[in-house]
Amino acid sequence: MFAEVMGNGQIVLPPDILARLNLKPGDTLKISEEQGRFYMENPSMAAYRRVAKAFEGEAEKAGFHNEGDLMAYLKGVRKEVRGY
């Protein structure tokens, strides 16, 4: 896949790449480099991955081992907040 570099240094990405990155006009594109390779990603997805990594394993530490555990907890919280 190729992108066109304009005279002012701007890069024009193909529409299918913009769609896969979920980018629209005016959005920001994160470009990073590792060992001579460049990677592009949607910054909001990069932030989501950082948050997900930070919370990795926390559910198990809190006693949630499956979705049923979480749903039971939420049901209890709702009951406590609503008073019934």
The per-residue pLDDT for range 61-80, each reduced to its tens digit, is 999 999 999 999 999 999 99
From the options 3.30.470, 2.40.128, 2.160.20, 2.10.260, give the CATH code of 1-41.
2.10.260
Element (DSSP H or E) covering residue 5: strand 4-5
The amino acid present at 54, given as its one-letter code, is A
Contact 40, 21 (CB under 8 A): yes
Domain boundaries along the sequence of the chain: 1-41
Q: Is the pTM of this model over 0.85?
A: no
pLDDT in tens, 16-71: 999 998 888 899 999 999 999 999 988 888 888 889 999 999 988 999 999 999 99
Q: Which residues of 43-71 are buried (b: 16+ CB within 10 A; e: fewer)?
A: eeeeeeeeeeeeeeeeeeeeeeeeeeeee
